[in-house]
A and B are shown apart, each in its own frame.
Chain A
Amino acid sequence: MSDRLDTSAFPDSHRVILPSRAYLLSVRDQTLPTRRRAIEDAEELYSELGRDDDQNARDMALLGLIGEAMQALEDLAYFGRGYENPLQGIAHYVTATIYSALTPTTFFQQLKKWDDDRLLVLAGLRVREPGGDVLSMARAFDAEDQFTAVELAAIEEAEAATIKLVRGYLIELARIWDQFFRYFHAYKHGGLAVNRDDCRLLDDDGNPQTASIAVWWRRKEEPQVHADTNLTSDQVADAIAKAGRLALQISGFLVESRLRVFQLIRLDDAGRIVGVEDPRELWGFWFHGEDLSSRARGVLERRLGIAFTAL
């Protein structure tokens, strides 16, 4: 335990720390396992109905899988907005609980343009102050002098490696969101799969084409179809299930980053802050092995006690 951290500047426990902690633990222990199980269940149902002759039921099962997976992407967008760009003056988790139909699309469209600082804040590796300044965790916790220059450099290198990986994953999820959100909405709002008994897709010369999935567009004056002809149904199922799991994995990383901060704060049963643990346990990184030098890795392992796991 560290005696050096000053807890007087910490946010109010009752209004901020305890609700935030409960929210994050609920995401970890309730939301993510449920979403994971729902995707698995939707995959099983898709496989099961895929053996039937009823192509329309199979289409609905594929839409169901898209629906379950896309919800994981939507969760990530809400979490990302709440923790990267929260409303001022309230606990971050509260922003994640505010509904806006624009949140997921805005999040995924804009993150392509995000600079490193924004990604570091999202990843829970930096803190943005109310004035907009972005601080390292060591500085935010007023603990910079507990680390050597070599340790701080290794932390920075691992941070850079982490956001390189996270950026790539998020951009992939942004592409998936853009590709599938219309199917997702058609699934949720009325189950608007096109009835294959009555409809068929034709190219400009009138030759029949095979769509992996086809839905009616919402909010069009005349009936219009949105369809995919690039992939087979099984390829769509595979791609969307992987994307859903990736979104859950990223959300899990973001949640653990925040929980690490809360786990640093020792609370009594009434929820009062009674101390803080060693700030060396503040960091968690996630990167491709080749993106972190062996020197930096050695420093983090030996001096900060960080253990690395190959995933």
Chain B
Amino acid sequence: MYFELTIRHHDHAYVESRGGHAFFSHLRGAPSRCAYRRRALEGAHRLYHEARDRGDEESRLSGLGLLVLQRALLCAEDLGALLYALDREDAWQRLTGYRVPDIEGVFLGVHTDPEQALAQFRLPADQELASELSDCPVALEGARELCRRTRLRWLYMLEGVINLWLRNRDVAKATMHGYPVIAGDRAVGTPSAGMISDALRDPGVRPFAAALISTVEGSHVTTAVHAVPLDPTAVDSFARNGKLAIKLVEELCAAQAGGIERGYGYMLPLEFLARLPEQQREALEGRVGRE
């Protein structure tokens, strides 16, 4: 038994140079993958709010808040994995071989050098725009404005995803590995949870949970107690940032797959075209229509 991967392309060496055929196929599969991730995240978010409206117990509600967090983090991990993969030529090995600290490194890297991450979205550089549109200054100005707005939008979205990841990765990971999480009402109830309650910093909102992250060094075990706010504000924020991650994955994959498909090194984003001054818009539409 074997698998046959069939990709139609005019230049297979080019596909290989952009991460290989399996990677290209993975990029092309993004719409279905993202449609699922979005539905799953929205489903968890809906369950949380339904439980809240019903007045479910705090421990039930905190569990569902953590489900939203977990599903949102999976979306963030999808994005981090793609950015990590695209950072080198061996994209497929990196996509299928990354570890959690690699994602951490990618997201921290975006903080220090956002241009590196944005480059993966294949925005044209200014000299590339100038060389393509030198004959039409109005279209060139419009293209520059499109790139500027798109760049700002992606940076804003990346910021939300990175915050989601950096603040919550340990807790979300814990929910996937044994669920060492005390329900908030058990941590602050009567009687208390003993030394767990002592180590807990009450986040001051309800519900919340206390994730126990234990590490072993030699014969010593250290347990850190992470308080996780799971009130509607926090949970809505998980869902919102998770959806930003999904959107970024969609756009990143579309830019990459579209570029590979057509053999382009970069692509002009058109999302803000309608907001350009009429003259610039018409000039660009003329060019885009022609190409």
* Residues in chain A within 8 A of chain B (CB atoms): 13-19, 21-23, 25-27, 29-31, 33-35, 37-38, 41-42, 44-45, 48-49, 54, 56-57, 59-61, 64, 71, 74-75, 77-79, 87, 90, 94, 96-99, 103, 188-195, 197-204, 209, 214, 216-221, 223, 225, 227, 229, 267-271
Given contacts A188-B74, A189-B81, A194-B25, 13 further A-B contacts (CB under 8 A): A18-B195, A19-B196, A22-B182, A23-B180, A26-B182, A30-B62, A31-B181, A33-B59, A57-B36, A190-B95, A204-B2, A216-B96, A217-B96
Measured between C-beta atoms, what is the minimum distance from A232 to chain B in Å?
17
Given the interface pairs A45-B39, A270-B191, the reply to whether A29 lies near B93 with Cβ below 8 Å is no
- B152 within 8 A of partner (CB): no
For A87, the closest partner residue in chain B by CB is: B221
B43:A216 contact, CB within 8 angstroms: no
A29:B22 contact, CB within 8 angstroms: no
Q: Which of B1, B66, B186 contacts A34 (CB under 8 A)?
A: B66
Complex Cα distance, B46 from A48, in Å, reads 16
For B2, the closest partner residue in chain A by CB is: A202
Given the interface pairs A191-B33, A218-B97, the reply to whether A26 lies near B183 with Cβ below 8 Å is yes
Q: Is the interface of B mostly helix, strand, loop or mixed?
A: helix
Complex Cα distance, B180 from A99, in Å, reads 9
Given the interface pairs A22-B186, A188-B74, the reply to whether A15 lies near B194 with Cβ below 8 Å is yes
Q: Which of A97, A194, A229 contacts B178 (CB under 8 A)?
A: A97
Contacting residues, chain A, for B209 (C-beta < 8 A): 30
Measured between C-beta atoms, what is the minimum distance from A54 to chain B in Å?
5
The 7 closest A-B pairs by CB, nearest first: A78-B178, A18-B194, A34-B63, A22-B193, A56-B32, A97-B180, A60-B36
Contacting residues, chain A, for B63 (C-beta < 8 A): 30-31, 33-34, 37
Complex Cα distance, B189 from A269, in Å, reads 9
Complex Cα distance, B34 from A61, in Å, reads 11
- B267 within 8 A of partner (CB): no
Q: B179-222 interface mask toward A, CB cutoff 8 Å, 1 = contact, 0 = none?
A: 11111001100111111110000000000010011111000010
B183:A74 contact, CB within 8 angstroms: no
Q: Which of B25, B96, B180 contacts A220 (CB under 8 A)?
A: B96
Interface size on B, residues (CB 8 A): 72
For B186, the closest partner residue in chain A by CB is: A22
- B250 within 8 A of partner (CB): no
Contacting residues, chain B, for A27 (C-beta < 8 A): 179
Q: Which of B97, B178, B186 contacts A96 (CB under 8 A)?
A: B178
A57:B32 contact, CB within 8 angstroms: yes
Measured between C-beta atoms, what is the minimum distance from A52 to chain B in Å?
9
Q: Which of A44, A57, A74, A193 contacts B177 (CB under 8 A)?
A: A74
Contacting residues, chain A, for B67 (C-beta < 8 A): 34, 37-38
B33:A271 contact, CB within 8 angstroms: no
For A200, the closest partner residue in chain B by CB is: B4
Measured between C-beta atoms, what is the minimum distance from B193 to chain A in Å?
3
B37:A200 contact, CB within 8 angstroms: no
Measured between C-beta atoms, what is the minimum distance from B179 to chain A in Å?
5
For B66, the closest partner residue in chain A by CB is: A34
Contacting residues, chain B, for A15 (C-beta < 8 A): 194-195
Contacting residues, chain A, for B21 (C-beta < 8 A): 223
